[in-house]
Structure 1
């Protein structure tokens, strides 16, 4: 499936979603934002999809908002609509989909693009990538949950400094800080992303979705609430087909064949 601003390919239970406005470094306009939401919804409901990879076409992952759109009086939807109808729904979809989402960061991730990347479940980037909280450089504040995820990933002081100063962070530094899962050599990036995606697609999808939700809730739960939720989900996981298959494979000393059920 393809259109002007988003590409979608589904292979071996992996949905590869590619931001496809390389001429503007994959910056978002309204059409692209709404299409991404629609494709994420389709991937969530498609039982053939058990893992998702989000990446960009060309030299950038995403440069954030297309500033031409917001400075064109005929096109500008206004920041209220941009946030409430574009970016906030994208972030909530990424976090709520009960399937693992890999942010495969193939180039610069700036502004909202950086924060969409950081909202993914597992974020990898090649050695030439950089992340920039570019908002303050044009007189804006971080959005797309940057002020939520970044301090939780790397700590309050470092996150606040990056948000205020707009410093460029290399992939190597991002890994060191815990901002991303792993930096991958440029030459092997696509192969390593595919291996990671296939590994996730062949794991017990239902359990991965529960793990994701547990980590989501841990952002705001107290200890007692989190323990109760772990118990609830563990009981549910223990009733799944994948759990029975995992135990049988362990006992029989063979590789499990998970179905995501």
Structure 2
């Protein structure tokens, strides 16, 4: 799929969505949200895809919401419509994907762009990249889930500082704080991101979906409830074909070949 604002490629069990509005540093417009949502639906409908990579063209991953792009069909008397009816369902769809997702942040990552990246399971960033909660610089409050996503990642004290000050956070510091998985040299970003998605694409896909469920619910569960959920998920994992293959491969002293089921 080559949309107006992005490119979707599906190959070898991997889907890659590349934001493609370099002239705006991949700012997110109504059109790009429509294209992105359609791409995610296509990924879900595909029985082939077992991992998803998201990145951007040019000098930025995403500079956040495009405040100047046309919004045809939106109600001018309903300023919340874009966030409520376009951003929220699209980001939730990404967050709820059963397959593992990876973001490769190649430059500026601001506002709603940060929320997009953090909605993925694993985030890598180029050393020259940076993250910024730019909302306050425009007299606005965080949206697109930023106040929740950033706080969950780095804790209240650091999240509050980022939100109130609106300052750039270097990729290396973002990795040190636990906002992202790893910071890598610029020329190694796509190589490392590709290595990760290639590994995930041949892994135990159902097990990944269960791990994602555990990590999501751990944020709110008590220890007792989380242990019960672990037991439930472990029971489901034991019944997968991939678990049977892993046990057989272990006994035969070879590398398992997973089919994702």
TM-score by length of 2: 0.95
Counterpart in the other structure of 2:11: 11
TM alignment of 1:38-187, pairs within 5 A: 38-69=38-69, 78-187=78-187
Counterpart in the other structure of 1:198: 198
- Two-structure CA RMSD over aligned residues (Å): 1.6
Residue 164 of structure 1 deviates from its aligned partner by 0.7
Contact 1:69 1:75 in 2 (8 A): no
Secondary structure of 2:61 counterpart: strand
Contact 1:96 1:213 in 2 (8 A): no
Secondary structure of 1:55 counterpart: strand
CA distance in 1, matches of 2:251, 2:213: 29
**What are the Cα deviations for residues 133-152 of structure 1, in whole angstroms up to 9, with x where unaligned?**
00000011111111112112
**What are the Cα deviations for residues 110-147 of structure 1, in whole angstroms up to 9, with x where unaligned?**
01001111121000011110000000000111111111
CA distance in 2, matches of 1:184, 1:123: 11
**What are the Cα deviations for residues 163-206 of structure 1, in whole angstroms up to 9, with x where unaligned?**
01001011101001011000111112111111111001011000
Unpaired segments of 5 or more residues in structure 2? none
CA distance in 1, matches of 2:15, 2:45: 12
Secondary structure of 2:35 counterpart: helix
CA distance in 2, matches of 1:254, 1:76: 60
Secondary structure of 2:187 counterpart: helix
**What are the Cα deviations for residues 80-129 of structure 1, in whole angstroms up to 9, with x where unaligned?**
11111122112211221100000111111001001111121000011110
Contact 1:111 1:132 in 2 (8 A): yes
Q: How many residue pairs end up in the alignment? A: 260
Contact 1:95 1:216 in 2 (8 A): no
TM-score by length of 1: 0.95
Residue 45 of structure 1 deviates from its aligned partner by 2.6
Following TM superposition, the consecutive aligned residue runs of length 4 or more in structure 1 with deviations greater than 3 angstroms are 72-79
Residue 224 of structure 1 deviates from its aligned partner by 2.5
Residue 42 of structure 1 deviates from its aligned partner by 1.6
Secondary structure of 2:193 counterpart: helix
Residue 76 of structure 1 deviates from its aligned partner by 7.5
CA distance in 1, matches of 2:219, 2:255: 34
